[in-house]
C-alpha cells in the first residue's frame, strides 16, 4: 500500500511549527515571518542606485558627465516599455 499525502493546511502547519519552536503557534508564526522578512529586506548597500542623479535631458547628462569626468549611460527606447504588456 502506498502512503497517501495529506494536506496539512494552515492549522496543521502552525501546530507543527509550534512543536518545532516549543511554544505558542502565534509566536512561532511571527518568528517564521521575521526570518522570511530578513531574506527580502534590502539594506542601504543594495539601494545605492537611488543616489545616482538621473537626468531626463540628454544635454544636461552629457555636461554633468564631462564636468565630473565620468562615463555616460544612455538608455533609450523606441516605444513605451510597458505599453504592450
Coil, helix or strand for 50?
Answer: helix
Note the pTM of the prediction, 2 decimals: 0.38
**Domain-wise residue ranges, the chain:** 11-40
**26-30, 40-44, 65-69, 81-85: which range is least confident on average?**
81-85
Report pLDDT digits (tens) over 14-28.
565 555 556 788 888
Distance CA 28, CA 40 (A): 19
Amino acid at each position: 500500500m502506498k502512503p497517501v499525502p495529506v494536506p496539512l493546511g494552515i492549522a496543521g502547519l502552525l501546530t507543527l511549527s509550534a512543536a518545532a519552536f516549543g511554544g505558542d503557534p502565534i509566536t512561532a508564526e511571527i518568528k517564521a515571518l521575521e526570518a522570511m522578512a530578513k531574506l527580502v529586506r534590502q539594506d542601504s548597500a543594495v539601494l545605492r542606485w537611488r543616489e545616482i542623479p538621473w537626468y531626463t535631458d540628454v544635454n544636461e547628462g552629457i555636461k554633468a558627465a564631462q564636468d565630473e569626468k565620468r562615463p555616460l549611460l544612455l538608455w533609450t527606447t523606441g516605444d513605451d516599455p510597458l505599453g504592450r504588456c
